[in-house]
Structure formats: C-alpha cells, structure tokens
Amino acid sequence: MMDVVTIGETMVLFHPMEERPLKYSSLYTKAIAGAESNVAIGLSRLGKKTRWIGRLGSDPFGDMIMTALAGEQVDLSKVVREEALATSVFFKDMYRIGDPVVYYYRKGSPSSVWKPEHVQEDWFVDSRILHMTGITPALGIETLQFTMECMKVAKSLGLTVSFDPNIRYKLWEEERVKEALLSLIPLCDIFLPGIDEAQFLFGEMSVEQLAQKIMNFGPHTVAIKLGDRGAFGMRRDLSSITVPGVNVGNIIDTVGAGDAFASGFLSIVAEDVYNFSLERALERGNKLGSIVIQGKGDWETLPTLEELNREKVITR
C-alpha cells in the first residue's frame, strides 16, 4: 500500500561549484530536482511508502533521475520513458544575495506532452494520498486537463488529494495561472499555499479570511505557509491554529522549503487521513522547511525520521 503518490516533472539541476555568477563559471555539479519528487523523497525518508510518476527521456539524464529516486526507495513502476524527447535541465545561480535565480530549459519536455487520456486507475488503486502541484498544469497544451483528470480519478477511488499551487510565474501569465489554479482548488482535499500565493489568488486580507475563502472552494483542510512566522491551518469546521516558525540562524538555499513543508505535513496526514493532528502536521512541516534552507540542494538535506528527532538538526 502506497502512502503517497506524486505526479510531476523532475529535471537535472546544474549549479556552479565556484562562488561566481553563472556566466563566469566553468565548473558545475549536477543533481536532480522536481517539486513532486522532492516531496516523495522527503516522505520516504520519514518512513512512508511513496511513488513518483513522471515522463523522462530515454537518455543519461533520465537514467540519473531514475537511479537517484530508486536509491531513495521511491517506487518508479509507473514512470514513462520517451525515446523522442530529452529530459529537462535547469541551472541555479546562487551567487546573488537572497533567493537563487533559476534558469529552466524544459520547452518540449516529456512532461509537456501529458494528456488526460494518459491517466490510469492503477496509478492510484493501491494508494491513500495523491499530491500534485501547480507546476504541471503550466507545462503544456493539455497538462492542465491532465492534472484535473489525475485529481478526479484519485478522488473517485477514495484518495485524499493534496495540492500545492507552487506558482512559477516564468511558466505562464498571471491571469492564466489564477484561472487555472482556481479551477483546481475544488478538486483537492488539502490545499497548501504560501501566504503570497494565497493573496495572489484571493486578494489582500487576513490569513483567517484567506483560509475561509479557500475552504469555500471545497478543501477540508488549508495550511498556509507564513515563512519565518510559521504556518496557519484551518479545517472544514473552521477550527484553526497558528504554529510559530523555527528560528534559523544560517539560511543558505531557500529553494525546496515548500516541498519540505509538504513532506512533513503529509507525513502526519498519512498516519490517519481522516483524523490527523493539524497542529502536529503544521509543526513537522515547519521543522522540515527550516532544515532544508540550511544547506544546498532541493532535497539532499531532508532528514530521516531518526535525524528529525535530533534537536541539533535544526540548530546547526
């Protein structure tokens, strides 16, 4: 039985080994990265059984992604390999002060050709939770319809559907992204936006008002990430709680923090999808988010369950 199934694009990431801008760098190191596979890895390290579903090229970069995820005990039995399309790559420029700048090379990628008819029931029948993000809908002509179909089929089979908007403004225009995401919220049970994303979708208002607006669309649980201020959660009965953030002294790389939060949150949901502790889910989401921003990489610093219980992990 799979605890969580994730569906989305995973790419090969290059970033400079030297402390200089991309245009002056000659040495790079490579890794894999993708919002949904990051979540799968995070959950796997916390002892949950996970499956990642995606499309990859039949090339060395696709092989690299498969090897890395298999090494993290993520089930890859439903992955599609494409002969005619190349696995996507991207570059992260970490020389600048603040959040890193990312450059994607993914046009015409294997993930851009997902269609609604590709969705198979056997992706979900042995699973309890489906997690998707707002990245996949932006990748191709029919990928929004594909995402909708995944969520509809999963719900029809009794899965709890989790959705993180994970807005990438480089991929599509603001009006289009707003319309698409608002059409997806009614299809999920758990919605996991950041405060900026929630305000983009619903306007400037208090976090409580934002959560209520979202609940009106259909989810039974909303968790809004507040950055260093923690996270706010609300349930269908309008009971709510705010969990404070974790004090972090040395922030190195903020990319992947939202995926880490989703991993921590869903690891608690997976314990009992009908009666999980919202407070514990928020606390663990915060804790994982605070850990990954203290090291380089989207997922490499995600902790195991044993490491998570060591206080020194979040205070180094």
Contact indicator for 282, 231 with CB cutoff of 8 Å = yes
Give the C-alpha distances (Å, rounded to integers) separating 273 from 161, 259, 278: 10, 19, 11
Least Cα distance to 33 among 16, 54, 9, 53 occurs for 9
Amino acid at 131: H
Least Cα distance to 281 among 204, 165, 192 occurs for 192
Catalytic residue among 189, 253, 259, 298: 259
Q: Judge whether 59 counts as a catalytic residue.
A: no
Q: How far apart are the first and last CA of the chain?
A: 36
Give the C-alpha distances (Å, rounded to integers) separating 239 from 232, 266, 279: 11, 19, 11
Q: What contacts 147, CB < 8 A, 6 or more positions away?
A: 132, 136, 137, 184
| Residues belonging to the active site | 259
